[in-house]
Chain A
């Protein structure tokens, strides 16, 4: 499922050439982008709210061990079980262990990116627990043995005809491409799963440290089903997802749905405080919260700690011109887009994912729309420095940079070196344009012509002018 980023160029190229994917990407970025703009226009004091959400999230990241201890003590007081996991494999083992001890064999899951990160479903299947995705897009992904390509809209890369074929093949129902009918089929199938599942697994959009509350935002109702009907509820969440109190939660909720889908709030905002209380008519008997590190503590110790403030809204994807052209799968791992370019090297290691931080023009559109004002370009540059410092750039480039620095700090040498380059380029030009260049520079002339340099530099023309 995760592939070395040496294939990044190949994946990106394939996506660019996929006309259907290009249509889909055009649709999702345009729709979500314009909805986000309208939604923020209608939020009073929007900039102050963004500041408050940023402060809430990053104060939590800064004080994370204290917040986690507070969160845990409140969860325990609320009657929940708290588990800690160093790695993805540990988290999977813990969830499988909870299922085994509680005698659960069917688990309904609402959308959880962390469970994709850990490949939880495979681990559950190996432990004899059948995991059923219930978010419509994730359900289709599961049926199709595919991967999600967008944080908020996981099957944006599939047409309704694709979905119809998947359902026909996997559910043995007649083919249709009518979206209402497709959703109705999913509703019927999943309803029976909700009613007979003995475990519900969810992620968490936020954890409120002072109250021991897990917050889930969904639109379909599967989040409520998963946290209400089965007798055991397991929450799998990254350790960074905390805010201090309900006031801070309010600020974050004000910007999350607006940034992600353009809604004021998602249809269901579920705040889980613990298992069912004495006298409750329904609700799970057991609540387990699994707190996952899996590299987050390492990210927090470095230059990209700020990325842990991300609230997973997807706005950066929707505005990124690179994402617009290559889609989510090209990023090769759980988290796509600008946030993925930072998180993936952080969680999985810099060396195999060294291409991702370079797959950006640093245009800054992401930073402009991020509801918590994460400085994504700064972090991409920090990762680029890490890549260079770890000697992961090609030797030839490192030497070229050394040469560049040496000459560009010595004007006479610089003039001589650039004259050589100018003469060489002018020799290759016809009618003032170069149409083909060798080697790496050929990347330019594949798609564009290159203006031939002028015979004289500006400095030379300036000297002439003054004479």
Chain B
């Protein structure tokens, strides 16, 4: 039995806990004993991306300390939070040797959800589900963490699921965190292009590994009255595994 620590992320905690519960169930089915530290809050990326370095460090310090008190792989159902912990945390503490060492230690244990599945359960036991899926590779997952194949392999392991090609599939959806409100016009123009591509793909659902992108894309689809739903990869697998 592998012990896995779940860093559930603030968006999962506060907006869509079903994603977190799906992650837990999928992890348990592949033989993990999941630990959810109670003191976790946020990775601090909103402050970091807005340039408030000091404030980001305050939050990061708290997160690193609580995670460093745990052992085992840290599973993160978000490419952007994953990239924050893996790549940005060590830089944030470049001038504080003790903290830097902790940050590197924590970073080395972190795995984004699909990455963890690829490493621990390559067969995935994906289950069965008839679905036409538009996969959205979130930017920090794809380019930050370099995770390209793992989510596609996970989708392919679901019997009956088809990954539909999406025009300009790797183009950013326009969420970008605070960018979505600060540069709302550009964000919605980028969203329009992504939605048009998704709608042309023939998919019945959008699957991604980042809840931020899913809220942005899903919010746009809902505003348009679209029947296309959005799911985190964990929810897709959970649905397929419980058929």
Please give the residue numbers on chain A whose beta carbons come within 8 Å of chain B beta carbons, in ascending order: 9, 12-13, 16, 321-322, 324-326, 358-365, 367-368, 381, 383-389, 393, 397-398, 401-402, 404-409, 411, 414, 418, 421-422, 433, 440-444, 446-451, 453-454, 456-462, 465
Assembled-state Cα–Cα distance A381/B88 (Å): 11
Give how many B residues have a beta carbon under 8 Å from the other chain's beta carbons: 67
Contact of B176 among A360, A397, A457 (CB under 8 A): A360
Q: How far in angstroms is the closest Cβ of chain A from B217?
A: 9
6 closest Cβ pairs, A-B complex: A361-B176, A384-B51, A443-B184, A448-B219, A447-B188, A405-B55
Q: How far in angstroms is the closest Cβ of chain B from A48?
A: 20
15 contacts between A and B (CB under 8 A): A12-B185, A325-B186, A325-B193, A362-B49, A381-B48, A406-B58, A409-B58, A422-B14, A443-B187, A444-B219, A447-B220, A453-B14, A454-B15, A461-B17, A462-B24
- What residue in chain A is nearest B144 (Cβ atoms)? A364
**Is A451 touching B218 in the complex (CB atoms < 8 A)?**
yes
Contact of B172 among A365, A381, A451 (CB under 8 A): A365
Decide: A404 near B15, CB < 8 A? Known: A440-B181, A448-B219, A448-B223: no
Decide: A385 near B143, CB < 8 A? Known: A361-B172, A443-B180: no
Contact of A405 among B59, B187, B191, B222 (CB under 8 A): B59
- What residue in chain B is nearest A10 (Cβ atoms)? B185
**Is A458 touching B52 in the complex (CB atoms < 8 A)?**
no
Contact of A385 among B12, B15, B51, B184 (CB under 8 A): B51
**Is A440 touching B182 in the complex (CB atoms < 8 A)?**
yes
Contact of A358 among B174, B179, B189, B215 (CB under 8 A): B179
Q: A401-B47, A444-B219 are in contact. List 8 more A-B contacts (CB 8 A).
A: A13-B185, A326-B189, A364-B139, A365-B143, A381-B51, A401-B50, A405-B59, A408-B59
Query: For residue A418, which residues in chain B have a CB less than 8 angstroms away from its CB?
Result: 10, 13-14
- What residue in chain B is nearest A435 (Cβ atoms)? B223
**Is B184 touching A462 in the complex (CB atoms < 8 A)?**
no
The number of inter-chain residue pairs (CB within 8 angstroms) is: 194
Interface residues of chain A: helix, strand, loop or mixed (majority)? helix
Assembled-state Cα–Cα distance A22/B193 (Å): 11
Q: Is B147 an interface residue (CB 8 A)?
A: no
Q: Is B175 an interface residue (CB 8 A)?
A: yes
Query: For residue A385, which residues in chain B have a CB less than 8 angstroms away from its CB?
Result: 51, 53
**Is A325 touching B53 in the complex (CB atoms < 8 A)?**
no
**Is B191 touching A397 in the complex (CB atoms < 8 A)?**
no
Interface membership of chain B positions 156-186, coded 1 if the CB is closer than 8 angstroms to chain A and 0 otherwise: 0000000000000011101111011111111
Query: For residue B14, which residues in chain A have a CB less than 8 angstroms away from its CB?
Result: 418, 421-422, 453-454, 457
Contact of B50 among A393, A406, A444, A447 (CB under 8 A): A393
Query: For residue A407, which residues in chain B have a CB less than 8 angstroms away from its CB?
Result: 41
Q: How far in angstroms is the closest Cβ of chain A from B2?
A: 18
**Is B189 touching A325 in the complex (CB atoms < 8 A)?**
yes
Give the residue among B12, B38, B52, B219 with the most A Cβ atoms within 10 A. B52
Decide: A16 near B44, CB < 8 A? Known: A321-B174, A360-B176, A451-B219: no
Give the residue among A326, A421, A449 with the most B Cβ atoms within 10 A. A449
Q: How far in angstroms is the closest Cβ of chain A from B183?
A: 6
